[in-house]
Amino acid sequence: MRAIVVAYDGWYQAIYFLEEDVNPARNLPRALIGGVLLIIGLYLVVNLTLLHVLPVRVLAASKLPAAAAAQILFGGWSGRIITILSLLTLLSLINAVLLGATRIIFAISRDGLIGNVATRVSAGGTPQVAMLLSAGTAMILVASGTFERIISIAAVVFVANYCATYFAVIWLRRREPDAPRPFRAWGYPWSTGTVLAGSALFLVAAICSAPRDAVFAAGLLGVCAPVYILMKKSPPAVETEA
């Protein structure tokens, strides 16, 4: 389940680009819902194909099932070709993740929480400092442990963020009932309550199954509060367009 959460995480990346969208109230729901449905469809088709071609024991033991399936179907160099293509597709994923993470740091800096150092952009509009901070942090995480452990820690952090967001929907609806809301939560409060309960149950299961990783993730989140308080004391930054 942790691997599945991380595989689907990123479905919300479109929110980081709303500032450049001319009609976010219309386009954001389409991007989020349409993107998730498209990915679900692709995942199902790929997995059904792999299950049809590969025995379960081979599928479980394979590090790259698509390459193993291609080798069975076409033979020759097909497995290596699929491996190369798979590695190349990672470039687009890395690009998307860095763009999203960079915009978070850029926005934090623009709000004055870490000064204005991360608002500096290149002639082409790339927030260079924010990009270096994002890439550097990613490199440290990769070097800190195994891939499986990073997945385990990331899943807890992601779902904790989900819980906070879903709770915020309920809290703000009660606290500011008359605030303008261009984005509607369909089926509220049952839809929001259901995903909040499911996310909370996932966190409990993650803590029970990998307590060490859960403690590490909790430590990362726990540091956020004092760091935020310190950042709030820094002077406002000058706005810079990205």
The answer to whether the CB of 206 falls within 8 A of the CB of 156 is yes
Out of 66-70, 143-147, 173-177, which region has the weakest mean confidence (pLDDT)? 143-147
Structure tokens at 158: 């992601």
pLDDT in tens, 69-107: 888 888 878 888 888 888 888 888 888 888 888 888 888
pLDDT in tens, 173-212: 999 988 888 777 788 899 999 999 999 999 999 888 889 8
- pLDDT-derived band at 48 (thresholds 50, 70, 90) equals very high
Average pLDDT value over all residues in the chain: 85
In whole angstroms, what is the distance from residue 17 CA to residue 20 CA? 6
pTM, two decimal places: 0.75
Backbone angles phi, psi at 33, to 5 degrees: -70, -45
Q: What are residue 114's DSSP bridge partners?
A: 116
* Gyration radius from the chain CA atoms: 21
User: Which residue type is seen at 40?
Assistant: I
pLDDT in tens, 12-31: 888 888 888 888 888 988 99
For residue 1, the 8-state DSSP code is -
Out of 20-24, 81-85, 110-114, 162-166, which region has the weakest mean confidence (pLDDT)? 110-114
